[in-house]
Amino acid sequence: MFQLRRKTAVCEVWRGLLCALVFCALVFAAFLTPLAQAAEGADCTIASTAMESASRLRGLSIMRSVPCKLQDRQEVEQYLRETISKKIPAERIKHEGTTYRMLGLLPYDYDYLNGLIRLYTEQLGGYYDPDREYYAMAAWMPAAMQMPIAVHELTHALQDQHFELEKLVDHEKQDSDSLMARSALIEGDATAVMLDYSRSLGGQPSIAEEQSVSLFMIQNITGAMLSASLNQAPPALQATLIFPYVSGLNFAHSLLRHGRYQEIDRAFARLPTSTEEILHPKKYLAGKVDYVAVPTPVPTSGTGYDDAKPVFEDRMGEFLLSVLIGTWLPPSVASDAAAGWGGDRLALYELPDGSKPLLLWHLRWDDSAEAKQFFKAFVEAYAKRYQQEVPAETSAVSFRDPHFGAVGITLEEERVQLSIGGSDAP
């Protein structure tokens, strides 16, 4: 099955870089076997048919036509670089990469910018540009893949015409967690339409008739792992690339079961605000928002950062917490540990010369028991990260990072706090 595409302009992941790119399709070819006959000889001439199919299945009218451009790898890479340069300051990319390396989401030596561009260029199957309102088809895609990709991407065009996607995914105003949630809605919707398209070719009903999409998601992950370049990417990056499609599909399916595509229309009017709602659709449908806004962490007096201003801030959310813990612990342990998330905020500080970064991360949990469960998993994960013994039960644990210096994790009632680096950094 597909695990197709990850849209960068509505990132699921990293707030700045991934969220600034474009509405893209990353293709994992396992999905498309039954469509080999349907798209033989496809090229840009299929775009109008794909748009009509997407409109019919999704129930959104075509308000204006969308031009299609055939692009080679060089043109796609150039577009990605130009979009990043236009939308994100170089300093932000730098600080974002530093933050993820300090947390352990990326290897110390990972080239954040070029690594992502290389990965996207290799996997890209197409993209929709909401600024210039055209659909770009990857010229190297096999003909059998082009029609379902076009249906998916032109669903984004329909979303844009009806819901103004650029306003929904403003990376200057939203944090990683809320952007990932919105990305999952947008990608899950387009993925559901693409699946309904492929099922209609075989005379099957909409996925809304299915009790579960678990099989589709398992196939998606299997297909994704067939991709050599994705498999070589850092595990955290793999997970975040897949999230909007797999978890987004599950979220969209819950809405479809509740009220068909009209329920998804309503979701664009009442957007999910956190990945917690994507991972637990019943919370979203019940209108239950049970997290709090955590203030920006401030360095304690006497640390040398008294007058420093944060150079980067973000809210990570339940999904990225599970990704972080899951870098070293089993997925089931990681998801259970993150499930009690009640809010978080991190901030990166630097001295005037740009040396010795200090990362502070404050997390809230639904109750003290949930906080204790996360603290225990977090400590165990970092003990594996630093290849140290898991400390005896305590509420304050210290490690030492060879690149960034002191690491401290503390637990107090329903709060967990992390500190990495500072004035004693190497």
* One-character DSSP codes across 370-388: HHHHHHHHHHHHHHHHTT-
- How much is the pLDDT for 40? 46
DSSP code for 69: E
How high is the pLDDT of residue 400? 94
Report which DSSP code applies to 325: H
The separation between CA 127 and the C-alpha centre of its own chain, rounded to angstroms, equals 16
- Which amino acid, one-letter code, is at 285? L
What residues contact residue 286 under an 8 Å CB cut-off, 6+ apart?
none
Dist CA 336 CA 107 (whole Å) = 25
> Whole-angstrom Cα distance, residue 418 to residue 350?
16
Kind plus residue range of the DSSP H or E element containing 181: helix 176-201
This prediction has a pTM of 0.89
- pLDDT by 10-residue block (mean), the chain, 426 residues: 32 38 47 42 83 97 95 85 77 88 94 79 78 88 84 95 87 84 94 92 93 74 55 81 88 96 97 96 91 94 85 95 96 95 96 85 96 96 93 88 95 97 74
Distance CA 226, CA 1 (A): 11
Token pair 């630097």 is at which residue?
A: 350
On the CB side of 217, CA atoms within 13 Å amount to: 17
Length of the chain: 426
pLDDT at 233: 79
Quick one: CA torsion of 171, 25, 72, 167, rounded to 10 degrees? -30
Give the per-residue pLDDT at 26. 53
CA distance 192 to 256: 9
Q: Tokens 């082009």 correspond to what residue?
A: 146
Instruction: Indicate the Cα dihedral angle 118, 121, 122, 124, nearest 10°.
Output: 140
Which stretches does DSSP call E strand in 21-123? 23-26, 68-71
Whole-number pLDDT of residue 33: 39
* DSSP E strands, 168-325: 310-314
Query: Two tokens at 297?
Result: 């962490």
C-alpha–C-alpha distance, residues 41 and 344, integer Å: 50
- Look at the alpha carbons of 368, 370, 373, 374 in this order and tell me if their dihedral is positive or negative: negative
Report d(CA 26, CA 149) in Å as an integer: 9
CB-based burial label for 309 (10 Å; 0-12, 13-18, 19+) = exposed
Residue type, 231: N
* Count of CB atoms situated within 10 Å of the CB of 214: 11
Residue 233 near residue 122 (C-beta atoms within 8 A): no
Task: Work out whether strand 358-365 and strand 341-349 pair parallel, antiparallel, or are unpaired.
Answer: antiparallel
Q: How far apart are CA 169 and CA 404, in angstroms?
A: 32
- Burial letters for 29-51: b for 16+ Cβ neighbours within 10 Å, e otherwise? bbbbeebeebbeebebebbeebb
* Bridge partners (DSSP) listed for residue 127: 24, 136
- CB atoms under 10 Å from CB of 232, counted, come to 12
Residue 250: Cβ within 10 Å count? 19
